Structure 1
């Protein structure tokens, strides 16, 4: 049954007085506008949490779908959301999403979360618990535990969900699926994913001195779930990604885009193990070269997955910081691998295939096979491909939880949750590498994680052979914050 999106006098009053555009013509019932116009009950009122940075384009894309109205905006940093507030001047503005949801929840249908990683889960859960549909930027969460909780909450609260890895709605990943389903490359056993990120500082120490907090920024509110620490220049609006308190490094930034095709093509579940090697500034002075608060400058993660339906087990390699796999023998010496700095390679028993970020430009190897091999299209395409990722969620939210449109979304949380958990498993391996072990005198003498293959019990979210690593499965929130 179609879920109604108008349910109260306050809601109707809100719609009646909201502007469709910054210019300001009004939403009125279909019988007044005439045939072919969209009635208020067929529109979605969206609140944007995080209205600057990535939120700027996210919110615009929802509006550009033609079926969403931007009713509310929320951002802790007034400097970053100037453009969005000018674009939607009649949207009511808040700094604290908790206050916005408490006061305005009757007038909100859906919420977009485009904040730094450490705030994704608490903001999304607050909205979901009020039965609001949610669109959450990648990675879905900062921690594995949070991803599991959001995945379960989507069904508990019966809301329509989508993660912001728009490439999952693109034609490229569906072409890779069609080739694999047709048996063109046989059974996949090895996958390589790689990126040129990070392009922000990592492998560095936190500055020893603080900086004045800029006017317009509520830094304590920005910290949210993270530990109370002083502000320093450069952490905002972008470099927070390299600090474990707030971001999830190169994996969090790019793996939900680059690893996503592997999950779509092969139906990967939870990994069974993870191991890593990292490049960072462990230099001559043992203490000054130890920077556990930020991610490494480069890493190589190996995740192992159990094969599905009698297929072989799969070894997935993640490489960042510019590290790349060896070029396949079938790829010409001057041909571009992936999209140059980023890409994914599938190694099968009968052949290979590759693509760039978002699975763009999918190709069989050798590349001449791409046009030669013809297979039936078995996977339905999303209207407008990756550009339709936003509109698909808007339409699914209007249709409601349990609708075909909601079930067919490319990155609803039943898909995005396990993908995010696997991505964050890579970070768990990296951070385990940084665990110091003390000798009888209390002196640090080893990093046992660098030599350990972490064995993962996915259903129970637990490392079974190195208990110290489990501290990274679920972090402790600052007092006053909870999921």
Structure 2
């Protein structure tokens, strides 16, 4: 043995011994292998990518399950991550998720992704390819193509997945389903969903004045897959939601919460067609403005879904945001709250109606006096802790292993739901797509058409210009690993 080989062997031995001594309590379950094994601590070793904002509460809730060890934290903004770092002082901290996965993948079981929408897919897929269980905040992805990729990847890599729409674990959606399955409202062919969001700026032009990048923020890493642009004030940590390069508007933010019950009750899958009207901003007295970089201030989208085994025909869902609400049903008293006030869902059936608020909380048959009179047995098992139990449910399922335990929002359900919402966003974005004829004259044909969707080929068949948003081009140096 040469001197160099001897030294290398010694260093490797020391390094391995040190890791074993220092990291015994966070040995990932998969390292132990074997059927029916039990980890020394019986804890799920979690890496939280996106440690501020919603990521902060996600990580805290995994930990509260009592069966998760928060071993690694990652965030591009030290300011946002500060509280999580304080709460989990033993967790190793990274700024670059790629380095975290490269260096630590052998030491983790699962990854939580709570970044802006535009980086969900690239991080989630990388984790799944390393055979890590994955929890991704809603919406699952930024683009339709990405949602399809992640849905397929969850099956391919046989990992436990969950989207962060907590209401899917709540009692409310299960109560609605029991009423529907019992035939209390008959066949449903129309559903209304609405929200008072956005509560961030939308329908505005991109600011022309760049700002100084905070020293705690790695702007290049924050941009990730998005186009290279100058940093602007107040974009982070929240207002990115209103810009198409990063967010998915009110639909992406609240649609996964409010439309999920319709998918669960009626077994909906893909959208057949979609049309929309959008609020606009008047740039002067004569011309209304469409700003293609920004989501509109309000919208009303009408989506058609094909017949399922739970319906007698096609199903129409109306989505409204920006404070727009549907007409109050005649069965609702004049002083009774519609939905939860700012948000809600209304199912219109052949024999009656029912409604609920965000997360399907406070489900009510209409008129509301029917709610107390209804005598329907509980047929659907409740998730312990309801919507708050969404996190522990995923942790428990990861510990049990792929296919061993049911979760409320696996990617096989969350993927098609996300695709439907993003299909609606295609219609919204179509309003601002400028098309020029041979003479150079501009028009906006997306204003006045219904988009027809070819689900198998993932494209709009009657307005090709919007297909550019089905699968966006990533910034150079970033690639979805398929």
Q: Does 1:47 align with 2:47?
A: yes
For residue 34 of structure 1, what is the aligned residue in structure 2? none
For residue 429 of structure 2, what is the aligned residue in structure 1? 431
Q: Distance in 1 between matches of 2:109 and 2:196?
A: 38
For residue 418 of structure 2, what is the aligned residue in structure 1? 420
For residue 239 of structure 1, what is the aligned residue in structure 2? 239
Q: Does 1:451 align with 2:453?
A: no
For residue 385 of structure 2, what is the aligned residue in structure 1? 384
Q: CA deviation at 1:186?
A: 0.2
For residue 75 of structure 1, what is the aligned residue in structure 2? 75
Instruction: Report if aligned partners of 2:26, 2:45 keep a CA contact under 8 Å in 1.
Output: no
Q: CA deviation at 1:440?
A: 3.2
Q: CA deviation at 1:9?
A: 8.6
Instruction: Report if aligned partners of 1:10, 1:107 keep a CA contact under 8 Å in 2.
Output: no
Structure 2 residue runs without a partner (length 5+): 1-15, 33-37
Q: CA deviation at 1:160?
A: 0.3
Instruction: Report if aligned partners of 1:14, 1:107 keep a CA contact under 8 Å in 2.
Output: no
TM-score by length of 2: 0.92
Q: Does 1:357 align with 2:362?
A: no
Instruction: Report if aligned partners of 1:210, 1:232 keep a CA contact under 8 Å in 2.
Output: yes
Instruction: Report if aligned partners of 2:116, 2:247 keep a CA contact under 8 Å in 1.
Output: yes
Q: Distance in 2 between matches of 1:330 and 1:40?
A: 58
Q: Distance in 2 between matches of 1:124 and 1:218?
A: 20
Q: Distance in 1 between matches of 2:25 and 2:308?
A: 53
For residue 113 of structure 2, what is the aligned residue in structure 1? 113
TM-score by length of 1: 0.91
Q: Distance in 1 between matches of 2:22 and 2:445?
A: 58
For residue 9 of structure 2, what is the aligned residue in structure 1? none
For residue 60 of structure 1, what is the aligned residue in structure 2? 60
Q: Does 1:462 align with 2:459?
A: yes
Instruction: Report if aligned partners of 1:186, 1:349 keep a CA contact under 8 Å in 2.
Output: yes
Aligned with 2:118: secondary structure? helix
Q: Does 1:209 align with 2:209?
A: yes
Aligned residue runs from structure 1 range 471-482, under 5 A? 471-482=468-479
Q: CA deviation at 1:301?
A: 0.4
Q: Which deviates more from structure 2 when the two are superposed, residues 53-62 or residues 283-292?
A: 283-292
Q: Distance in 2 between matches of 1:256 and 1:9?
A: 46
Q: Does 1:198 align with 2:206?
A: no
Instruction: Report if aligned partners of 1:193, 1:259 keep a CA contact under 8 Å in 2.
Output: yes
Q: Distance in 2 between matches of 1:282 and 1:447?
A: 16
Change (3 A) 1:297 1:11: farther
Q: CA deviation at 1:18?
A: 5.4
Aligned with 1:344: secondary structure? strand
Q: Does 1:325 align with 2:326?
A: yes
Q: CA deviation at 1:312?
A: 1.9
Instruction: Report if aligned partners of 2:139, 2:252 keep a CA contact under 8 Å in 1.
Output: yes
Q: Distance in 2 between matches of 1:136 and 1:305?
A: 25
Q: CA deviation at 1:15?
A: 4.5
Q: CA deviation at 1:269?
A: 1.0
Q: CA deviation at 1:16?
A: 2.2
Q: Does 1:16 align with 2:24?
A: yes
For residue 289 of structure 1, what is the aligned residue in structure 2? 289
Structure 1 residue runs without a partner (length 5+): 1-7, 20-28, 30-37
Deviation sequence 1:423-461 (CA, Å, 0-9, x none):
1111111011111121333232x2111111000111221
Q: Distance in 1 between matches of 2:314 and 2:365?
A: 22
1:411 to 409, 412, 424: 409
Aligned with 1:327: secondary structure? coil
Q: Distance in 1 between matches of 2:308 and 2:289?
A: 43
Aligned with 1:315: secondary structure? strand
